[in-house]
Amino acid sequence: MSIKRYLSISYTIIVLGIIGLGILSWLMSNYQATLNQKHQQRYTSYLLADELRQSSDDLTRLARTYVVSGDARYEKMYWHILDIRNGKKPRPQHYERIYWDNVLDYGDKPRSDGETIALKKLMEAAGFTKAEFEQLHQAQQNSDGLVTTETIAMNAIKGLYNDGNGNYTRQSAPDPEMARRIMHDLKYHQDKSAIMQPIDKFFQLLDVRTQQEVEEYQQKYKLILLLIQLLVVILAVVSIFIGVVVSLRILHQIGGEPTHIAKLAKMVAQGKLNITFDAEKSTGVYAELQHMVGQLQKVISNIRHTVADISNMAQELNDTAQNLSQSSSNQAASVEQVSASLEEINSTVNQNAQITEETNQRSQSAANMANISGQAVTDTVSAMQQIAKEISIVEEIAYRTNLLALNAAIEAARAGEHGHGFTVVADEIRKLAERSQGAAQKISSLAIESVKTAEHTGGLLQGLLPNIEQNAVAIESIAIASAEQTSGLEQINLAIAQVDQSTQQNAAGAEQLAASSQSLQEQAEQLQNAVAYFSVEK
């Protein structure tokens, strides 16, 4: 069973016990209040009965004092007591306490007056039983009978006697002797006893009734108290059981003292993984903490080795990036030089192509003129002279073309593998230039010979015309080769531009790679510093 289940059941029992204690406490409080009420009722009843007894004693004392002394104030006090008891005059406050013994002169008031109510009414309100009330009623009737004797005695002192109608209007000589006698003889004491016997019987009935009620509620009170004590014992036992069971359960799940576990956890939080664990404790949180620390030790060790490897690799990568950046810079400079040389070659080739085109056009014109020369020798001589002049230009062009081809071959040799194709083209151009130069020299010789031998021009024109046509074909081949050379140079320029762009990109990538490797090395150092927080070695 889980700790939560234990605690839930335990708390439920405790809550139910507390609720039970609350209910029992409420019942006990009610019983206590009722018991107090019964005690108060018993006390009030006793005070009312005692007031009847006390008033009878006060009446006896005052009547005897009056018949002995004849002092009228005692008679007034006598009748004042009767008026209070019969509800004709207000009752002094706390009338149950000593009052008339402290009244030395009529009109004295030891305490202020209260409400005006007859003693009989108070007895009825006190909840007396019928038997109890009958005893008090009997006592009051007997007391009223004794009042008659006391009235006779007090009137005898004044010389007033009963007229037969219950009134004391008949006058005669005062008889103090008779008054004192009837106030102290046996009959007076018998009448006095007749008053006290019902009161004593009332006290007996009151004691029996109130004692039964008090004992009944005392039994209930004791029962509730016993239940409360029993419930407290049960709760104490349950609490002790819960404390022991839960403590053992918690200690089992924790695997050790909580303070020791907290200390170990604090050491782990401080990065101190070089902790020595007790091998005998292999349960609960303690065992899991031990396993966690072991795994952390392995992880931290692996991280340290990995960080060291990353740092070394980052350094090597940074060195490689620096070398690559330097190589890319050198390559970019070389590519720019090659590009400049190719631009010069391209310019020369374009110029050569232009001259070749012009030569081709002139060769075509010479062929046309050779055809016309068959009809007019004079014109042929003139044309041959012009051709001789033009041939010198062709020789010059062939010479320059040969030089350009030589220069192109040199630049192609410098370009290495990329200039191999261009070397072949340059060689062909050189050969064509040599052939053009030879053809030009031959044409020049023929032109000079034609001037000298104009008469033989007509016959020679048939042999010259094929040579002119071959020359035109050769020049056209030179023009085509020049065009192809121009196209090849354009492709070379495009390739060089692409190489230059790639070189620039490589240089930028090398710089970015160097920055990334530097950042990686810094992060590796930060990670290494963070891992250094943990102490693994014991």
Query: CA-to-CA distance for 149 and 71, rounded, in angstroms?
Result: 18
Buried b (16+ CB within 10 A) or exposed e, 350-370: eebbebbbebbebbeebbebb
Place of tokens 């509800």: 87
Taking CA atoms, 520 is separated from 60, 296, 453, 514, 523, in Å, by: 123, 24, 91, 10, 5
CB 237, CB 16: distance < 8 Å: no
Structural tokens at position 353: 């192509």
* pLDDT for position 475: 64
Structural tokens at position 438: 């030879």
Please tell me which of 173-182, 297-306, 369-378, 394-403 the model is most confident about, judged by mean pLDDT. 173-182
> What is the average per-residue pLDDT within 434-463?
73
Query: CA-to-CA distance for 142 and 82, rounded, in angstroms?
Result: 14
pLDDT tens digit sequence for 202-261: 889 988 888 887 788 788 888 888 999 998 999 888 888 877 876 777 767 777 677 878
Q: How many helices (H) and strands (E) does the chain have?
A: 11, 2
CB 253, CB 286: distance < 8 Å: no
Structural tokens at position 524: 């590796």
Taking CA atoms, 342 is separated from 41, 327, 338, 404, 496, in Å, by: 136, 22, 6, 13, 9
CB 324, CB 511: distance < 8 Å: no
pLDDT tens digit sequence for 379-417: 756 766 776 677 677 678 777 877 877 787 787 778 777
Query: In order of start, what are the domains of the chain with their CATH numbers?
Result: 3-232 (no CATH), 295-531 (1.10.287.950)
Which amino acid, one-letter code, is at 158?
A: K
Which of 109, 112, 108 has the alpha carbon at shortest distance from 93? 112
Report field, pTM of the whole predicted structure over 0.75? no
First to last CA, the chain: 39
Query: CA-to-CA distance for 390 and 39, rounded, in angstroms?
Result: 163
Q: Which residues touch 272 (CB under 8 Å, ≥6 apart)?
A: 534, 535
Which amino acid, one-letter code, is at 197?
A: Q
